[in-house]
Amino acid sequence: MTAQTMEFKTEVQQLLDLMIHSLYSHKEIFLRELISNASDAIDKVRYLSLTNSGLLEGEGDGKIKIAIDKDAATITISDNGIGMNRDDVIKSLGTIAHSGTKEFIQALKSEEVQNNPELIGQFGVGFYSTFMVASKVTVRTRKAGEPAESGVVWESAADGSYTIDACTKENKGTEITLVMKDDEKEFLDQWTLRGIVRRYSDYIEYPIVMDVEKTEGEGDDAKKVISEETLNSQKAIWLKDKSDVSAEEYNEFYKHIAHDFTDPAKVIHYRAEGTSEFSALLYLPSRAPFDLFYKEFKIGPTLYVRRVQIMEHCEDLVPLYLRFVKGVVDSSDLPLNVSREILQKNRQVEQMRKTITKKVLDTLGEMKRDENDAYLGFYGEFGKVLKEGIHYDPTRKDTIADLLLFESTHTEVGKLTDLQSYIGHMPAEQEHIYYITGASRRELEGSPYLEAFKEKGYEVLFMLDEIDDFIVSSLHTYQEKEFKSAVKGDITLDKENEEKKKEAQEKHKDLLELIKNELGESVKEVRLSGRLKDSPCCLVAGEADMDPQMEKILKSMGQ
């Protein structure tokens, strides 16, 4: 069979153009990306071999090899991982195998990404980063468990198309050869590559080796020998002592597992003892991934059992409202051959999920107290998700309520307050926590509903997220104070006035009845109001009616 030429999907070529023409810094990360893929591929074959040992093809240990050929100006990275068949290659290296392709293309064109090209990292574009440094890339690969003749060669110069052909490859796994561009030849140096491996990939579990030439003996006996040297320390970073891990190592490991280019906002590293023993290295990312609200979003840390990777996204380890948490959890107790079904019902896993949830919420509490800026950053990205917990995790709703932030009539524009300080500001006679929902602060600030509150000096929280109304009804109270919507029902801010209002209501009975008759069916009731100061009248929802903001949302959804 002769080689077949195939076109890249449009978005791939767009991505490649962006890679080649606008990414200039940190080009050395191409090596990290290739090593990371090789390590993932070995994880996969290791895991599958637990139930099908033939897949290892007699090669028990994972290994990643780097070879430099100065004359040919090439660097070759090979692994003995799972490998790919033809379909895998076309899917993985010809498209962007991602559910949110539309968003991805939009992002590619957006100014934010054009100005900060490293942001495309969040879309998992690892392999294509090779084209920052290589003029041509050749991939030779053969899937574990399939015959040697079923190998595949893929080749491209990033010029809109690639070729694909069959080959024979004795060993399973993948071998990727980069022909370095003329001005990227500095990478063809063993010391440069060693440095990059140490810096970005030291924690990789499998040995990363390189052939190095050494002179042995002296004088006439001197001879050149080639030997394989291991470049990385291979320590599972999550099993190390905290004091032995540098911030940079933590960050690099995060980028490897989260497929993110940005440093995380927070590292949580601990060992749980007692009923379930496990090590956890968890991260709070600093940016929300674009697919956080998609159904296909992959949830949960990677699960290891005694250093063997079992599952990349173990969704049983975190509640949905903490789905932004990334990392690794390594259990000492679970059996190696756990399946997804077993995990769902496993009490040990349930216990792990509980302690992880508590740990993450405690950490957020500490961040809020001690690292305000970092917390604000986190909240801006993930506050909406965290809030869901108020509704879905009733046992922890008070803890989560402590973490909430809002703008209010008492904050400057763009500044946030929390419920603790709301309670702290309450005048002695104020009984409830008042809030108003809407799409923006500007829209709400002029609201006639707020007049009486302003006059009394009562703070009203602006709830601007769509789900806030939902959250407040789940929360109901905070520190025994009831939440009251500033736009619902009959709000009495003042007991004394209440008496006067009753008298007035009697006195103007006829007038009110007249107005009600005029307006007819379009209103339920006409009454005097204690809430208005400057405006002559306003519409209010009944206590049991839907919040006007909620009504708008449902209407817009066609309900």
For ligand ADP, which residue of 29, 31, 32, 81 counts as binding (CB under 6 A)? Answer: 81
Quick check: 279 binds ligand ADP (CB under 6 A)? Answer: no
8 A C-beta contact, residue 346 and residue 303: no
Instruction: Name the closest residue to Mg ion (Cβ).
Output: 126
Site for Mg ion in 124-183 (CB under 5 A): 126
Q: How far apart are CA 190 and CA 213, in angstroms?
A: 10
Q: Which is nearer to ligand ADP, 251 or 420 (CB)?
A: 251
**What angle, 0 to 180 degrees and rounded to 10, lies between the N-to-C axes of helices 101-109 and 10-22?**
30
User: How many residues of this chain interact with Mg ion, rule: CB under 5 A?
Assistant: 3
Question: What is residue 213's three-state secondary structure?
Answer: strand
CB of 212 to Mg ion, least distance (A): 27
- Comparing CB distances to Mg ion, the nearer of 83 and 319 is 83
* Contact window for Mg ion (CB under 5 A) among 29-37, 112-120, 133-141, 395-403: 29-37
Burial bucket for residue 524 (CB in 10 Å: 0-12, 13-18, 19+): exposed
The correct pick among 19, 28, 31, 37 for binding Mg ion (CB under 5 A) is 37
Kindly state the smallest distance separating residue 220's Cβ from Mg ion, in Å. Answer: 49
Q: Is 299 exposed, middle or buried (0-12, 13-18, 19+ CB in 10 A)?
A: middle
Among the candidate windows 16-24, 75-83, 281-289, 444-452, which touches ligand ADP by CB under 6 A?
A: 75-83
Residue of the chain from 46, 65, 140, 259 that contacts ligand ADP (CB under 6 A): 259
- Is 84 marked as a binding-site residue? yes
Q: How far is the CB of 132 from Mg ion (least distance, A)?
A: 14
Of the candidate residues 18, 120, 125, 475, the single one contacting ligand ADP (CB under 6 A): 125
Tokens of residue 462, six digits: 């602006």
**Which three-class secondary structure string do you get for 120-186?**
HHHHCCHHHHHHHCEEEEEEEEECCCCCHHHEEEEEECCCCEEEEEEECCCCCEEEEEEEECHHHHH
Q: Judged by CB under 5 A, does residue 201 bind Mg ion?
A: no
Q: Which does 264 bind (CB under 5 to 8 A by kind): Mg ion, ligand ADP, none?
A: none
Tell me whether residue 100 is annotated as binding: yes
What type of residue sits at position 192? Answer: T
371 is in an annotated binding site: no
Q: Which of 127, 290, 297, 392 binds ligand ADP (CB under 6 A)?
A: 127
* Region of 119-127, 263-271, 334-342, 529-537 interacting with ligand ADP (CB under 6 A): 119-127
Do the annotations mark residue 487 as ligand-binding?
no
Report yes or no: 389 and 397 within 8 Å, Cβ to Cβ.
yes
Residue ranges in 437-476 that form contacts with ligand ADP under rule CB under 6 A: none
Contact in structure between 248 and 256 (CB atoms under 8 Å): no
Contact set for ligand ADP, span 508-537 (CB under 6 A): none
Choose among 226, 314, 253: nearest CA to 278. Answer: 314
Q: Cα separation of 104 and 358, whole Å? A: 34
In angstroms, rounded to a whole number, what is the distance separating the alpha carbons of residues 342 and 312?
A: 16
Near ligand ADP by CB under 6 A: residue from 92, 192, 351, 355: 92
Output 82 or 108, the one with its CB closest to ligand ADP.
82
Q: Which of 31, 38, 178, 310 binds ligand ADP (CB under 6 A)?
A: 38
Whether the Cβ atoms of residue 354 and residue 299 lie closer than 8 Å to each other: no
Q: Residue 281 Cβ, how far from ligand ADP at the closest point, in Å?
A: 19
CB of 176 to ligand ADP, least distance (A): 7
Q: Strand 151-156 relative to strand 134-142: parallel, antiparallel, unpaired?
A: antiparallel
Q: With contact defined as beta carbons under 8 Å apart, do 329 and 352 qualify?
A: yes
- Please give the residues from 108 up to 127 whose contact with Mg ion meets the rule CB under 5 A: 126
- Going from the C-alpha of 148 to that of each of 61, 141, 143, 152, 154, the distances in angstroms are 20, 10, 9, 10, 16
CA–CA separation, 164 vs 152, rounded Å?
7
- Identify which range of 33-41, 180-188, 292-300, 490-498 contacts Mg ion by CB under 5 A: 33-41
Burial class (CB in 10 A: 0-12, 13-18, 19+), 530: middle
User: Which of 16, 18, 41, 404 touches ligand ADP by CB under 6 A?
Assistant: 41
Nearby residues of 203 by Cβ (< 8 Å), 6 or more positions away: 232, 233, 234, 235, 236, 237, 249, 252, 253, 256
Among residues 28, 35, 56, 79, the one that binds ligand ADP under rule CB under 6 A: 79
234 binding ligand ADP? (CB under 6 A)? no
Tell me which of 29, 30, 37, 449 binds ligand ADP, using CB under 6 A.
37
Where on the phi/psi map is residue 348: left (φ > 0), alpha (ψ -120 to 50), or beta?
Answer: alpha
Q: How far is the CB of 1 from Mg ion (least distance, A)?
A: 29
Check the annotation: does 57 bind a ligand: no
- Output 41 or 401, the one with its CB closest to ligand ADP: 41
Binding footprint of Mg ion on the chain (CB under 5 A): 36-37, 126
Binding footprint of ligand ADP on the chain (CB under 6 A): 33, 37-38, 41, 79, 81-84, 92-93, 124-127, 174, 259
